[in-house]
Structure 1
Amino acid sequence: MIELHFQSQLQKRKNPFGSSRVDHPFQTHSDADNVFSQEFHRIQSTLKDIKQDINHQSKGVVVVGEPGFGKTHLMMRLANSRLKTNRLLFIRQPNNPDAIIYHIYSRILESLIRCIPKINYTQLEYLIANSCAKIFQEIIIENPDLYPKKESKKDQTIIELVKNGNLELLSFLSSDTQAKREFWEHIENRSYMWWSTNYSTAGYAPEIFKGIIKFCGYRAIDYRRIIREWLAMNDVPQKLLDKVKIASWNKSINREEVSLEALKVLGYLSLLDEPLIIVFDQLEGLGREYNQNLLHSFGEAIKEIFTHIPNSLIILNLFPDRWEQFKQEFDDSIVDRISQCQVFLNKPSEEQLITILNEKSKSINMTIEQLFTPHEIQKILSKNSIRSIINSAADFYNYKIHNIPLPDYLKVETNSQIALQNNSNLQNLVSDIKQIKEVVLKIAEKLNIESNLETKIEQNSETYIHQETQTDTNKIIGDYLNQKYQQIEEEYSESQVITSSDDRGKLEKIFESLKIIQPSLKLDFLTFDRPKKIPDHLVIQTETQGYAIGFLYDGGNAFFSRMTNWNELVAKNSHLKFYLYRDARGYQVSGEKSIAELDKFKNTDNGEYIVLIKDERITFELLYQIIVDIQNQDLEAKLDEALLILLKRYSHHSLLKIAIEAIGTFEV
C-alpha cells in the first residue's frame, strides 16, 4: 500500500508508464539495454561487416517480432548508439505505388535534415562535414596531381580546421556573412571538382550533389527551406532559387529516376563517412489485399536500392506472418538480400520485464515492488507483449495514485474479496441461494408459470459487459487521440518534407479504411485522353455522389499548368464535387496567370479551395496515423470503432465533413 504522503507527491508527477510506444527512432524513451542485447549486437556486427567489406556492399537485416515486442524501440537504441557516427534514415510505409522511390528519398531527406539530439547540427551536416574533410584530404594532400587547381590559402585553412575535428568546418562557417559565404562557395567548387573527377557529370546526380553541399552552407532557415524544397523536387519560384544560385527543375523530370540518382549520391558520400542505416517500419498495411500493387512496387524498389546504393544497412521491421507473406510475394533475389541477417524478438524473461518496468519507474525514484503488490505485478506481467505490460502498469498506477478505475480485464481480487472467498459461512450462504433459485425455477415450470429470471440475468450481464467494454474502448482511443494530437502538434514546426503524392496516398488509405463503415465506397482517379499534368488526387464515388479531392503544393509554372488542367476537369465533370488542398506552410500562389486560374476554380459551383492550416493538417495526420497504428497493432482497438469516434470528435475538419457526407448516416 502506498503511503498517503507519497501518493500526494506522485499525483503531481507524470505517469512513468504512460508512454509505451516508440513511434520513430529519434524519440527518447527509457531503455533497459540488457533486453535484446544479443539481437542488438547482431545488427551492430552486420553494420561493422559493411564497413570492413572492401566493396562496401549493402546488406539487409529483417527484424521479426510480434506487435509490441520492441522492434522500433530497438531502432531507437540503434539511433542513440550510432547517430554521432552513422546516418540513420527512417522510412514509414509508402502509399503510392507509382512513387515508391520518391517516397523513400523524401523520407530519407526528412531524416537527414533532422537535428541530432543534444547537438545543434543535422545528420546531413554531419555527413557533409565528414565527407568534405575527406575530399580536401584527397585533393590537397593525398592525390593533388589528379586535380587541376593549385592549393590556395582557403585550402590550407580548411585542412587546419578539420585537424581539430570535422565539425570545426561547420562552426567556423556558422554565420551567413559574405566572407563566410565565399569560403563555403570555395568548398562547393572543390567538392564538385572531386565529384567530376570520380563520378559522371551526366544526369541529375551532380545537381543533387551540389544542392546537398549548398544546403549545409547556409544557417538561415529561409534559405535552407528553399534548398530543402528544391531537393524534394517541389516547384520553387525562380526568384527564390536565384537567392541561393540554383536552377529550377526541368518540367519533364521523372521523380522516380531523380530520386534514385539522389540516393546514389548519398551512398557515394557515405563511402567518405560511415555506412548508412536505412530503417523501414510500419509496413504491415502493405500486406492487405487492396495493396497488392503497392507491395509489388515496394519489392522492386528495395531491389533497386540494393543494386544501386552502396555502403548501407537496410533494415525491415516486420510481424512474423507479414515476413512469411513477403517471402511468398517477393522473388528470391529480393528475399535473399533483405534477409542476410534475421533477428527474431521473443518475449523477454520475467526478470527482464521487471527490469524494463523498473527502468521506467526510475523517473519517480521508486521500484515496481514499492508501487504494486505481488499479485498486481503478476497480473501486469501476464500480458502477451512488452507494450501491453507497460500499458497495464500505467493503468494500475492511475488506479493507485489517481483513483481511476481499472479496466475490467485488469481487475484483481482485493483482500476483502479474498477474505469473502475464505469465509465458509458466506460460501454456504451463496450455495443456499443457488439451491433456492433452482427450486423456484422447478416450481414455476410445474405450475406452467413463465419465468424469464435467467433470461433477464443473462441480458443484464451482457448489457453490463458491453457497457464496460465500450467505456474501456472509448478511454483507450480517447487517450490515444489526445497523446497523438499533442505529439503531431509538437512536430508541426519541425523541418518536414511534405509532398502532394504522399498526401494523396494517405487520403487513399483513409478512404480504403472507411469502407469498413460504408462498403459501397469506390475509389478512382481522373484522366485526359492524352497525358496532362494534373494535381495528385483521388475520386471517391458513392451511390449518389462523387468527390474529387486533389493536392497541389507546386509553385510557379508547375502550379499554373496543373491548375489550368484541374479547371478543365472541373468543367467536364459537373457531377463531381471538387476540392483542392494546399498546405499552409507552402509558398503562396504568385503570378497573375496562376492567381487567375485559382480564382477561376474558387468561383465554380462545384469547386472548393481549402488551405491546410495547422489544425487541419494535424487532424489529417491524426486520422491517417490511427489507421496505421491499428493496422500495425500499435493501438489495441477495432478500426471501425476508432473511425466512428474520430469522425464524431473531429467532425468540424473539412476532410471529415466530406467523409461523413460520403458515408451517410452512422452511429457512434
Structure 2
Amino acid sequence: MFKDYLVVDTEGNPLLKEIAVINSLGNLIFEAIVTNNDRPLNPSTRGQSLVEVLNKFLEVISEQSEALVKDEVVLDEPILISPRDIIQQYFDRQKVKLKSKFMEHQILTDLDDVGKLETIIRFFKDSWDKLEIEVLNLGKRVTPEHLVIKIEQHQCVIAFLHEGGSKFFARMRNYNELMSYHPLLQFKLCRDETDYPITGRKSRQQLDNFKSSPRGDLIILNSEQRILFESIYQTIVDMQNLDLEVSVDEFIKFISSEYGNFWLWKILPI
C-alpha cells in the first residue's frame, strides 16, 4: 500500500514533490516521522524545515538498522542440544528402523546374539567390578551358544537357543548337564517369543528340568525387549564407528535411567 507525503517550507510552499513510499521499511520510517514529530508534515503546518525532516529521517533509519542487526544476531545464535537429547533422538530413530525390520519374520541365530551380548557387556564393563567373560565346554558335545559372565557380586551363564526339534533337545540336554557340573553358577536361557514352539515330549522334559532348577531361568524376549536389545547393540556399534559422537558415560547414563527394565540389567545390575 502506498502513502504520499508533502514537504513544505515555512511559507507553505512545496519543497519536494509527493513521495511514494513503496517498501515496508520506508512506510515504517515515514510513519515514525509523522507520529513522533510535534508538527505533522502537511501544508497547514508552518515552521517545519527540510533539515529537521531529513535529520528525523536519518535518526529513524539508524534506529531501524540497529533493530535489524539485533534481530539477525538472535536468529544466528546456535541452538544448543544436550548430549542426552542427541542420544534420545538417535536411539528413537534406531528403534523405529529396527521395529520395521522385525515386523517381518527375522531369522535369529544363537551365535549372532551371543556376539551382540558380548559387545554390549564389554561396552558397559566399567559399570561392574572385575568383569570376566569366558565360555564353558562339554568336550565335543554341542551346547547352546553362551557366555560366562563374572563380576565381583555375581556369576552367571547366559545362553541363546533359537533352534527347535532335535537340535533343541540335544543342546538343552547338554546345557542341563553343564549346569550340574557348575553348582556356583546361575544359568539363563534366552529365547524369543517368535521362536519355534517346543512341542516334542523329550524336548519339553529337558526344558522343564531346566526351569525347575533353582539355578535355571528361562527368559522369553518379547518384541519390545528384542528391539531394545538390537537398538542398544546398534547404537554402540555406531558410536564405535563414530557415526554417533557422544561419550560412553553419557550413553550409559541414558540407558540405565531410561531403560532400567532391560532384561540384561535384571541379571547384571548397572
TM-score by length of 2: 0.69
CA shift, 1:590, in A, is 1.7
Q: Which has the higher helix share?
A: 1
What is the 5 A alignment of 1:248-327? none
- The one of 174, 178, 197 aligned to 1:565: 174
CA shift, 1:518, in A, is 3.1
- The one of 245, 263, 267 aligned to 1:654: 263
CA shift, 1:544, in A, is 2.9
What are the Cα deviations for residues 55-78 of structure 1, in whole angstroms up to 9, with x where unaligned? xxxxxxxxxxxxxxxxxxxxxxxx
Q: How many residues align?
A: 199
**1:295 corresponds to which residue?**
none
**1:493 corresponds to which residue?**
103
What is the 5 A alignment of 1:80-479? 415-416=69-70, 472-479=82-89
* C-alpha separation in 2, matches of 1:484 and 1:565: 37
Q: Which runs of 5+ in 1 are unaligned?
A: 1-413, 421-467, 664-668
* C-alpha separation in 2, matches of 1:509 and 1:635: 16
Q: Is the 8 A contact 2:172 2:207 kept in 1?
A: yes
SS in 2 for 1:541: strand
Code of the residue aligned with 2:246 in structure 1: it is A
**1:502 corresponds to which residue?**
112
What are the Cα deviations for residues 68-105 of structure 1, in whole angstroms up to 9, with x where unaligned? xxxxxxxxxxxxxxxxxxxxxxxxxxxxxxxxxxxxxx
**1:598 corresponds to which residue?**
207
* C-alpha separation in 2, matches of 1:477 and 1:656: 19
Code of the residue aligned with 1:562 in structure 2: it is R
What are the Cα deviations for residues 548-577 of structure 1, in whole angstroms up to 9, with x where unaligned? 000011111111111111111112222112
Q: Is the 8 A contact 1:563 1:597 kept in 2?
A: yes
Code of the residue aligned with 1:576 in structure 2: it is L
Code of the residue aligned with 1:593 in structure 2: it is K
Q: Cα gap change, 1:653/1:419 in structure 2, threshold over 3 Å: closer, same or farther?
A: closer
Code of the residue aligned with 1:654 in structure 2: it is W
SS in 2 for 1:492: helix
After TM superposition, what 4+ stretches of structure 1 lie above 6 angstroms from structure 2?
417-420
**2:236 corresponds to which residue?**
627
Q: Is the 8 A contact 2:129 2:152 kept in 1?
A: no
Code of the residue aligned with 1:607 in structure 2: it is G
| Bigger radius of gyration | 2
* C-alpha separation in 2, matches of 1:544 and 1:657: 13
Q: Which has the higher strand share?
A: 2
* C-alpha separation in 1, matches of 2:221 and 2:215: 19
- The one of 608, 618, 623 aligned to 2:217: 608
CA shift, 1:415, in A, is 3.4
SS in 1 for 2:202: helix
Verify: 1:643 aligned to 2:227, yes or no: no
What are the Cα deviations for residues 495-553 of structure 1, in whole angstroms up to 9, with x where unaligned? 4321011001111111111114336211111112x221100001110123201000011
* C-alpha separation in 2, matches of 1:563 and 1:651: 30
Q: Is the 8 A contact 1:517 1:640 kept in 2?
A: no
Q: Is the 8 A contact 1:545 1:575 kept in 2?
A: no
Verify: 1:546 aligned to 2:155, yes or no: yes
**2:127 corresponds to which residue?**
517
* C-alpha separation in 2, matches of 1:566 and 1:649: 34
What are the Cα deviations for residues 314-371 of structure 1, in whole angstroms up to 9, with x where unaligned? xxxxxxxxxxxxxxxxxxxxxxxxxxxxxxxxxxxxxxxxxxxxxxxxxxxxxxxxxx
CA shift, 1:612, in A, is 1.5
Q: Is the 8 A contact 1:522 1:542 kept in 2?
A: yes
Code of the residue aligned with 2:70 in structure 1: it is S
* C-alpha separation in 1, matches of 2:145 and 2:83: 36
What are the Cα deviations for residues 411-460 of structure 1, in whole angstroms up to 9, with x where unaligned? xxx9328889xxxxxxxxxxxxxxxxxxxxxxxxxxxxxxxxxxxxxxxx
TM-score by length of 1: 0.29
Q: Which runs of 5+ in 2 are unaligned?
A: 1-67
CA shift, 1:594, in A, is 0.4
* C-alpha separation in 1, matches of 2:89 and 2:168: 40
Q: CA RMSD in A?
A: 2.2
CA shift, 1:655, in A, is 1.6
CA shift, 1:488, in A, is 1.1
- The one of 145, 164, 180 aligned to 1:555: 164
Q: Is the 8 A contact 2:157 2:187 kept in 1?
A: yes
Q: Cα gap change, 1:488/1:418 in structure 2, threshold over 3 Å: closer, same or farther?
A: closer
Q: Is the 8 A contact 1:516 1:640 kept in 2?
A: no
What are the Cα deviations for residues 354-399 of structure 1, in whole angstroms up to 9, with x where unaligned? xxxxxxxxxxxxxxxxxxxxxxxxxxxxxxxxxxxxxxxxxxxxxx
**1:533 corresponds to which residue?**
142
Code of the residue aligned with 1:416 in structure 2: it is K
CA shift, 1:647, in A, is 2.2
